[in-house]
Chains A and B, each alone.
Chain A
Amino acid sequence: AQKITQTQPGMFVQEKEAVTLDCTYDTSDPSYGLFWYKQPSSGEMIFLIYQGSYDQQNATEGRYSLNFQKARKSANLVISASQLGDSAMYFCAMREGGVTDKLIFGTGTRLQVFP
């Protein structure tokens, strides 16, 4: 069965430093997509980055990059040059192949950026 694991309940990082949030996944489907979302205290789920299972290169979106290691089934999010506004919950999610938008979410990591 498909599963997403985020083993870091909380992370601290100093402003302007880089931070890596871990995510491992489990699926038997060769076609899948991996998503990272940011959820501030307001509740909105903000899309950050996407990686398809057949994408040859790691995805990047501004300060966000996804370290995709297919053999290890990991999809870690790297945030460079952290900002105070990055403090939020971060969720990793997976969508298996087919005509579906069903996402399986991990339990999330709470990131706190300090000055």
Chain B
Amino acid sequence: DAGVTQSPTHLIKTRGQQVTLRCSPKSGHDTVSWYQQALGQGPQFIFQYYEEEERQRGNFPDRFSGHQFPNYSSELNVNALLLGDSALYLCASSPGAGVGGELFFGEGSRLTVL
């Protein structure tokens, strides 16, 4: 049983470009959340999706947007990249938001902005 899978694992972009990161939740999970983890810090919540809608959002600008597909997979899009967007982006999935402790993360996508 595959867990949470993310792609790509590493990527390099330049300032001003746009990036799309992808996440497939664990089988049986319908809720996906995205986190940004800067070097040396704990992850910060970006937003959460279920039923193909953004349900909750953290303190991130509109340059960060997302999407959830009918098969529950999700994308994170970041426009007009800044140097400060360099981070590890983690996707987490659960069988239902706020339900119990089954909240698992993927291996992350490491974004470097030059």
A103 contacts B107, C-beta separation under 8 Å:
no
B98 contacts A101, C-beta separation under 8 Å:
yes
A97 contacts B98, C-beta separation under 8 Å:
yes
15 contacts between A and B (CB under 8 A): A4-B42, A33-B101, A35-B103, A42-B107, A49-B101, A50-B103, A91-B43, A97-B98, A101-B31, A101-B94, A101-B97, A102-B33, A102-B45, A104-B45, A108-B42
Residues of B within 8 A of A (CB): 31, 33, 35, 41-45, 48, 55-56, 58, 88, 90, 92, 94, 97-98, 100-101, 103-108, 110
**What's the least CB distance linking A66 to chain B, in Å?**
11
Query: Cβ of B33: which chain A residues have Cβ within 8 Å of it?
Result: 101-103
Tell me the number of A-to-B contacts counted with CB atoms below 8 Å. 74
A98 contacts B98, C-beta separation under 8 Å:
yes
A99 contacts B43, C-beta separation under 8 Å:
no
Query: What is the chain B residue whose CB lies nearest that of A102?
Result: B45
B104 contacts A47, C-beta separation under 8 Å:
yes
A37 contacts B97, C-beta separation under 8 Å:
no
**What's the least CB distance linking B68 to chain A, in Å?**
13
A44 contacts B106, C-beta separation under 8 Å:
yes
- Bound Cα distance A106, B24 (Å): 26
Query: Cβ of A49: which chain B residues have Cβ within 8 Å of it?
Result: 101
- Bound Cα distance A100, B56 (Å): 7
- Bound Cα distance A100, B45 (Å): 11
- Bound Cα distance A4, B44 (Å): 12
Query: What is the chain B residue whose CB lies nearest that of A61?
Result: B101
Query: Cβ of A97: which chain B residues have Cβ within 8 Å of it?
Result: 98
- Bound Cα distance A105, B87 (Å): 16
A43 contacts B110, C-beta separation under 8 Å:
yes
**What's the least CB distance linking A48 to chain B, in Å?**
10
B41 contacts A100, C-beta separation under 8 Å:
no
B88 contacts A43, C-beta separation under 8 Å:
yes
| Most A CB within 10 A of own CB, among B33, B35, B45, B104 | B45
A45 and B105 in contact, given A103-B43, A107-B41 (Cβ under 8 angstroms): yes
A47 contacts B41, C-beta separation under 8 Å:
no
